[in-house]
Structure formats: C-alpha cells, structure tokens
Amino acid sequence: MVETCKAIISKNKALIALTSILLIAVLVIARYSRWPALPGFQWLEGPVPDDQIPYDLAIGYISCYLFYFIQVFIPSRLKERRASQALGLYLKEYVMYMKILETILKENKLEELPDKDNDLGEYKITDQKGNIIYEAFPVPVSVDDLSHQERKTGENRFMSFLLKIQHVYEIMMQAPSFMNLNEYMIELLQKTDISFWVASYRNLIYMRRLGQEDIEVSLDNEITGKNKLNELRDAIKQIESLLKQKTVVEPRSNSMTH
C-alpha cells in the first residue's frame, strides 16, 4: 500500500502541485463571494475586498488549469496507457527477470557468482493471478542478437542471464512507444541499471580469465553494489505498483551456498 501511494504521488507530481494551487484559487474566489460560507469556512465571510486583482488571477488560474487538464494531462495519460499496453509483455518479462536477479544478489555477492555458476537452479515465479512458471538457467539468448565478444562471454550461465535482461531492456528502449511511457516509469527503468550489473560481472569474468583468481573488492565498489541493489529493489517495487502487478520469485531448488 505504501509503495502504491508513493508510486502514484511520484507519477503525478505536477498534477498534485497544480491542484494544490487550484484549491487556493477556489478559496480566493470564495472570499469574494457573497454567498454564505460552508460549515467550517466561516472565516471566509466578511466584506468583499476592494482589490479585484486576486479574484481575477484566481479566475484566470482556474481557466488555465482546465485547459491543462483537458488539452495536456488527459491526452498524455492516453498515450502512456497505449504505450504501457504496447510494451506490456516486455515490461512484465523485464520485471520478472530483474526480480530473479534481485533474489540472486540478495543471497550471494557478485564476486562469488563465477564460482557458483553451475549451481544456479530453477526459480518459481508466481504472478498476482496465481499462475506459476519456472525459470531455469541458462536463459537462452538468440545468437543473432549478440556480438562475437558477448557470445564468448555468454558461455557463462549467469552472464547469459544478464545479457537476456539487457536484451529485453534494449528492445523496449528501441520501441517507438517507449518515449510515450510516463516519465516516472522511464526514470524507474533507468534506475534498475542492468548495464551496471552486466559491466560489473563481465569485468569479474575477464579478470578470472586473465588469471586473477583472487579478486579483492574495494569498500567503495562493495558500497556501490549495495546501493545499486537497494535502488533496483525500490525501483522494481514501484514499477510493479504502476503496472498494478505483483510477482513473487523464490528459488525452486537452490543449491547455492551463502
């Protein structure tokens, strides 16, 4: 409930701010009215002020607000709804994969995953309708969608999974309707920052291949990873709130050790 309210408020910041000013404008008009005040608003009663400028400004603001609501807000919301419908399957798939990624990173440090690559098992995904699917590693990626270097890196199962998430994200970004999504939705998708996890894990694999078996992770990198994971978790929660969907991810058979 808290995440839903937070997402709604963040999505409609401009409308909430303009509506707050609208209420002030209505009170100003009520102050100039000769009609009896409503219960609780008796403080608005009294002689009508001689200065008409506040009244004229309030009337003008209400006209501008109605124009904005009809000509800007409603059309933009219709565009956002059509964009969400067009990208719905990709958004749902992306959220599902990112929740699996969150689950893995919550239980394991990133630098430990190269040694646990063969231990990645299946994950049970339950949507809000109660439908259950199982996602196993490696998640296949079309060879045609990968560069030569990515094909080599993709031999690692977890790397293949990250590349799959990145591929889904890139498909969404390249879609014509992507820019019609709500600005807050786009901001949240960017905060999940799949490119950070791909780059970080790719560097780990390269260091292993160069013979640097003992990888020392600096405190700054460790803090950055934790902050990124927290951002990922918060962003996914709010994306689900905006999409009005809830996905539960849990290991089906997890042989990975802490």
Cα torsion 87, 233, 228, 205: sign: negative
- Please tell me whether residue 160 adopts helix, strand or coil conformation: helix
Query: What's the average model confidence in pLDDT over 139-162?
Result: 59
Q: Measured between alpha carbons, how far is 196 from 91 in angstroms, rounded to an integer?
A: 19
DSSP reduced 3-state for 212: coil
**pLDDT at position 113, please?**
80
Handedness of CA 174, 178, 180, 183 (dihedral sign): negative
236-247 pLDDT per residue, tens? 988 988 888 787
Tell whether the model's pLDDT for residue 35 goes beyond 90: no
What pLDDT, on a 0 to 100 scale, did the predictor assign at position 254? 46
Q: Across-strand partners of 133?
A: 125
Specify the DSSP element, H or E, that contains 125. Answer: strand 122-126
Which token pair is 202? 């790719």
DSSP state of 94: H
Q: How far apart are CA 135 and CA 157, in angstroms?
A: 13
Q: What is the pTM of this model?
A: 0.74
Per-residue pLDDT at 255: 40
4 band by pLDDT with thresholds 50, 70 and 90: low
Residue in the block written with tokens 């890196």: 153
pLDDT tens per residue across span 156-215: 778 888 888 999 999 999 999 999 998 899 999 999 999 999 988 888 877 777 765 554
Give ∠ CA 98-100-102 in degrees, rounded to 5: 70
Does residue 234 register a pLDDT over 70? yes
